Structure formats: structure tokens, C-alpha cells
Structure 1
Amino acid sequence: MKVGEVVTLLNSLVTELRRGTLTLAVLSQLRLPQYGYSLVQSLEKSGISIEQSTLYPLLRRLEKQELVTSSWDTTESRPRKYYVLSEYGLDIFQQLKAEWEKTSSELGSLLKGEEERESD
């Protein structure tokens, strides 16, 4: 496999890996209302970068799934659409978080075991 093909494959796999984690990351930040740009900043502070072209379709999908609700704030000079977890969304977020923690722990053990086998 050529270097360019390896890079393309790796980028594709990383994108696939990140896709589900971005949903969990976004849900984790919506316990309090946030607008898109503040959400991008909040995620970036935690080391998670997300493009606005990825975030807004994700927010629309989460709203369609009734995990988040949105409302417009027109009190400032520039109207902003705020998103927040619905009650249903909070429940789903907590279940996803538990599943993430379980899977992360299992995968961590698996990868640690792999490292130990390699050092033998």
C-alpha cells in the first residue's frame, strides 16, 4: 500500500471513529442552553474540534430525534438559536455516557493487553 493510500485509509477510519463520539460530546455540553458558536468553543476547550459544517447538521438531527430543543433569543442585536437537552435527551445522554464508559473500559483493557503481549 502506498503512503497516500495509507493516509487516506487512516483519515477515513479516524473520521468513522469520531462520528459517534461527537454526538456524545455535543450532548454532554447541552445541559445548559448554548448556541452553535459557544458550543464549538466549549468543545474546543476540551480538545474536541468540530467544524460548523458538521455541528449544525448534527444539531438538526438531534432536534429531529427530540434529544434537544431549540429556541431563538432575539433580545440582542444578533438573534441566536439556542439548543438544550430535552428531558428525553438527558435520559438518552446518561445511557450513552454509561455505554461509552463501559466500552472505553473494555477497549482500554483490550489495548493494554495487546501492549503487554507486544513487550513479551
Structure 2
Amino acid sequence: MTLLQSLTTELRRGTLTLAVLSQLRKPQYGYSLVQSLEASGISIDQSTLYPLLRRLEKQELVTSSWDTSESRPRKYYVLSEYGTEIFLQLKKEWKKTSDELSILLQGEEEDESD
């Protein structure tokens, strides 16, 4: 893995958590979650998603329940009340950081065009 790939993976790791939390305001099962993320341009492997969902559940940010009404049982995940609070705070923090970085990076672009 190149340095750039490593840094990109590191950068994505935190954003994936926020992306997953954003999609769990309504119950979703793993495959539907992958599809909704990919529809927004965010690709995530199942080998990344399921450990992340287990970690979020352990941190009490999401809860899960099995739906056995279909021929194939599905485990649904949804934000807990605590998870909703954390998600809203993270979203605010993301916007603040994103705005700050945009200002810094815009300054870089202006310097490059001189």
C-alpha cells in the first residue's frame, strides 16, 4: 500500500462512521445500507461495514433487531436515542471542520494559481 492509499484510508475511516450513522435514522439492514451509501457515492465493503456496525452497537449508538417475517431473516440496525444525539453533534463538528478545511484549501488553490 502506498503512502497516499494509507492516508486516504485513514481519512475515510472517520467519515464512514458519520456516513453510516446518517443512514440509520430509519432501520436498515446491511445490504440496504450498502446500497444507500453507494447511491450517494460512498462505497463500503461488507467486510468494513459489519465490524463497524458491531462496534457502533457495542458503543450503544445503534440497536439491532432481527426481522424473521421474510423467508430470509434480516438484522436491522437503527440509531439509538444516544446515537441520535452523538450523530447530531458529530454532524455539527463535521460541518465546522469541513468549513475550516475549505478555507485552508481554498487558500492553497489561490497560492498555486499565482
* TM-score interval, normalised by the smaller of the two chains: over 0.9
Please list the CA deviations of residues 62-93 of structure 1 after superposition, one character each: whole Å capped at 9, or x if unmatched.
Answer: 00000000000000000000000000000000
Structure 1 residue ranges (4+ consecutive) displaced by more than 2 angstroms after TM superposition: none
- The aligned counterpart of 1:85 is 79
Please list the CA deviations of residues 21-72 of structure 1 after superposition, one character each: whole Å capped at 9, or x if unmatched.
Answer: 0000000000000000000000000000000000000000000000000000
- The aligned counterpart of 1:4 is none
* Structure 1 portions without partners, runs of 5+: 1-6
* Structure 2 portions without partners, runs of 5+: none
Q: CA deviation at 1:119?
A: 1.3
CA RMSD of aligned residues (A): 0.7
Tell me the TM-score normalized by structure 1: 0.94
Among all aligned residue pairs of Structure 1 and Structure 2, give the percentage whose two residues are the same amino acid.
85
Larger Rg: 1
* Number of residue equivalences: 114
For residues 65 and 103 of structure 1, what CA distance do their matches in structure 2 show?
Answer: 24
Q: CA deviation at 1:117?
A: 1.3
Task: Select which of 89, 93, 97 maps to 1:95.
Answer: 89
